[in-house]
């Protein structure tokens, strides 16, 4: 139904002949895709691709959708499109199809994910857009991109990392493995502390996992000590107020300990015993 409506809107008698065909299109008649999920294009790789196109031509056509008479929009193949423009090609082989905005976004995202030179954060952001803007569940998403659901989930969890760490992954300082290890640290400050050690010391993924494990254990111990300290202070204060004498509360890491009640005279001891109902 959507395709019929678009065809009617175009009012081009040649539309039916073009759709589904691969033809040489004038590059000037093609506009870039506003839904392009990729924001980083390596200029050096574009130049290498341009050199390849000079020597061998374009092996795989780009994909466009027809917008209006003699007007097309890029759906996929922006690197090929950019490389072709950089060497002043006048035409480019293109596969023409009909797609609405949502379908165009989905096609661009899925094609983008299939690339091998994407960084983990770029992939995660594409997954996020597919779930948020196309309203796909993680199960549906895993089917569309041909990945296991757990793989999709692991990528999307990377977006919980601090933005500084995400930038580090995009710039190549960290791998997917490093990111997966860091995500296990809840505190942002601790994440950044470990991140700085990874970069400055060139830590491997295994070394990072070990560092994260030790960090979590130390954090857990500190939390336990803090809780114990607060509990002991509170207990000491309550007991001293009740018995009106000095109290000592001690404990260890196994949560075992003792409470000592101090007294300065037998009279004071007698008063304490009365309060705990040991003396009439």
Distance CA 172, CA 53 (A): 28
Q: Does residue 177 contact residue 154 with C-beta atoms inside 8 Å?
A: no
Strands 91-97 and 247-251: unpaired
**E strand or H helix at 90:** none
Quote the CA–CA distance of 74 and 203 in Å, as a whole number: 41
Tokens of 77: 């193949």
Beta bridge partners of residue 261, listed in sequence order: 247
- Spatial distance between the Cα atoms of 212 and 191, rounded to a whole number of angstroms: 9
For CA atoms 81, 83, 88, 90, the dihedral sign is: negative
Q: What is the CA radius of gyration of the chain?
A: 33
Decide: 144 and 130 in contact? Cβ < 8 Å: yes
Of the candidates 169, 145, 172, 146, which has an alpha carbon nearest to the alpha carbon of residue 157? 169
78 a catalytic residue: yes
CA 75 to chain centroid, in Å, comes to 25
Question: Which residue of the set 11, 31, 78, 253 is catalytic?
Answer: 78
List active site positions: 78
């Amino acid at each position: 139904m959507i395709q019929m409506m678009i065809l009617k809107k175009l009012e081009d008698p040649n539309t039916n002949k073009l759709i589904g065909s691969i033809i040489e299109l004038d590059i000037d008649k093609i506009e870039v895709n506003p839904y392009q999920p990729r924001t980083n294009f390596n200029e050096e790789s574009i130049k290498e691709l341009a050199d390849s196109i000079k020597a061998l031509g374009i092996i795989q056509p780009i994909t466009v959708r027809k917008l209006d008479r003699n007007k097309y929009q890029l759906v996929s193949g922006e690197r090929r499109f950019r490389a072709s423009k950089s060497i002043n090609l006048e035409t480019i082989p293109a596969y023409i199809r009909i797609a609405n905005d949502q379908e165009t976004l989905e096609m661009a995202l899925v094609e983008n994910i299939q690339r091998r030179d994407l960084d983990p954060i770029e992939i995660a952001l594409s997954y996020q857009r597919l779930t948020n803007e196309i309203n796909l569940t993680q199960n549906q998403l895993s089917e569309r991109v041909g990945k296991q659901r757990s793989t999709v989930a692991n990528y999307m969890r990377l977006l919980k990392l601090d933005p500084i760490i995400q930038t580090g992954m995009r710039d190549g300082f960290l791998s997917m493995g490093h990111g997966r290890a860091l995500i296990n640290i809840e505190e942002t400050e601790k994440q950044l502390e470990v991140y700085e050690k990874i970069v400055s010391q060139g830590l491997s993924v295994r070394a990072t996992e070990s560092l994260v494990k030790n960090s979590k254990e130390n954090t857990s111990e500190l939390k336990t000590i803090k809780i114990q300290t607060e509990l002991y202070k509170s207990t000491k204060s309550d007991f001293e107020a009740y018995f009106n004498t000095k109290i000592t509360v001690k404990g260890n890491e196994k949560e075992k300990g003792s409470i000592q009640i101090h007294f300065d005279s037998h009279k004071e001891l007698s008063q304490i015993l009365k309060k705990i109902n040991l003396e009439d």
